[in-house]
């Protein structure tokens, strides 16, 4: 790997994406920040600049092939290469009974969580394959929902199960090109989006219960650890959770 390291974080404007982008910068990475809203990305890019690293803020839609193609053109023009993709962008659907879920709600989740992850992985794979020196690492955000569902979460759970298959396929196909691919499954990181869990969320038995949370910086540190490994070593799957969350034994 070159002395300078270049990463792309999708969904970088908030939560896990923001924390991971800043942690990577503190660990010496230059970071491209992708997300829907430009203003938060610009603010984070400014923070990364204060850390002495380079940053590019790129707004767009990961579910749109043209937008993703433009994203990778911008990265190649700005950085010249890519050593890491953290495929983190995601969204959820309303927690409604399956028969009340609209196709538009289903499709919106699939477009971001699965199609978006594929398009960004495809763009990263192509750039990592043709750059010199060849290779890089892709980390997919699988979520605890890649293992078990929460109540009324069919779109999110289905896409996150699919991410596991995508991760394994990329890990296999990337071997010939020194492209490593792993997955991080995150449970109950305290972000603004997850803060509602501190007030109580539905459980499998119908109860509403408060769930333990972990500091999002612990997740960011795990991403930095996965990213820091040589390409000869890969963490295929990592599950990181709040110790007392109802994951083991869920249901």
Is residue 224 a part of any domain in this protein? yes
- Residue 186: CATH number of its domain: 3.40.50.720
The residue among 69, 5, 59 whose CA lies nearest residue 31 is 5
Of residues 26 and 149, more confidently modeled = 26
Is residue 71 a part of any domain in this protein? yes
Rounded Cα distance, 251 and 242, in Å: 17
Does the annotation mark 156 as catalytic? Answer: yes
Contact between 229 and 177 (Cβ < 8 Å): no
Query: In whole angstroms, what separates CA 42 from the centre of its chain?
Result: 19
Here the tokens at position 164 are 């596991």
Rounded Cα distance, 226 and 245, in Å: 23
Is residue 27 a part of any domain in this protein? yes
Percent of the chain with pLDDT over 90: 85
Question: Exposed, middle or buried, 158 (CB in 10 Å: 0-12/13-18/19+)?
Answer: middle
Q: Could you tell me which residues are beta bridge partners of residue 55?
A: 31
Q: Average pLDDT for residues 160-166, to the nearest whole number?
A: 98
Range of the domain at 98: 5-241
> What pLDDT shows up at residue 199?
81
Q: How confident is the model at residue 2 (pLDDT cuts 50, 70, 90)?
A: very low
Percent of the chain with pLDDT over 70: 97
Q: How confident is the model at residue 191 (pLDDT cuts 50, 70, 90)?
A: confident
Is residue 250 a part of any domain in this protein? no
Contact between 180 and 171 (Cβ < 8 Å): yes
Is residue 251 a part of any domain in this protein? no
> What pLDDT shows up at residue 29?
98
Model confidence, pTM: 0.94
Is residue 246 a part of any domain in this protein? no
Is residue 247 a part of any domain in this protein? no
- Number of domains present in the structure of the chain: 1
Rounded Cα distance, 163 and 159, in Å: 6
Query: Which entry of 140, 156, 170, 183 is annotated as an active-site residue?
Result: 156
Give the number of other CB atoms < 10 A from CB of residue 29: 24
Is pLDDT above 90 for 184?
A: yes
Q: How confident is the model at residue 202 (pLDDT cuts 50, 70, 90)?
A: confident
């Amino acid at each position: 790997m070159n002395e300078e390291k270049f990463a792309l974080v999708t969904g970088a404007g908030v939560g896990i994406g923001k924390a991971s982008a800043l942690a990577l910068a503190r660990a010496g990475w230059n970071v491209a920040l992708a997300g829907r809203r430009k203003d938060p990305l610009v603010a984070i890019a400014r923070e990364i600049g204060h850390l002495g690293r380079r940053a590019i803020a790129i707004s767009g839609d990961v579910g749109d092939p043209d937008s993703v193609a433009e994203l990778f053109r911008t990265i190649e023009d700005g950085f010249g290469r890519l050593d890491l993709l953290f495929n983190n962008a995601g969204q959820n659907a309303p927690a409604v009974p399956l028969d009340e879920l609209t196709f538009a709600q289903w499709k919106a989740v699939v477009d971001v969580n699965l199609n978006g992850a594929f398009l960004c992985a495809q763009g990263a794979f192509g750039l990592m394959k043709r750059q010199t020196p060849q290779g890089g690492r892709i980390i997919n955000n699988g979520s605890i929902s890649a293992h078990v569902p929460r109540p009324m979460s069919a779109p999110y759970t289905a896409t996150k199960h699919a991410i596991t298959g995508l991760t394994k396929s990329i890990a296999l196909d990337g071997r010939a090109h020194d492209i490593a691919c792993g997955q991080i499954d995150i449970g109950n990181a305290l972000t603004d989006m997850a803060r509602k869990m501190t007030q109580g969320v539905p459980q499998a038995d119908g109860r509403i219960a408060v769930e333990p949370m972990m500091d999002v910086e612990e997740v960011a540190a795990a991403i930095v650890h996965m990213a820091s490994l040589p390409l000869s070593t890969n963490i295929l799957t990592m599950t990181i959770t709040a110790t007392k969350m109802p994951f083991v034994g869920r249901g």
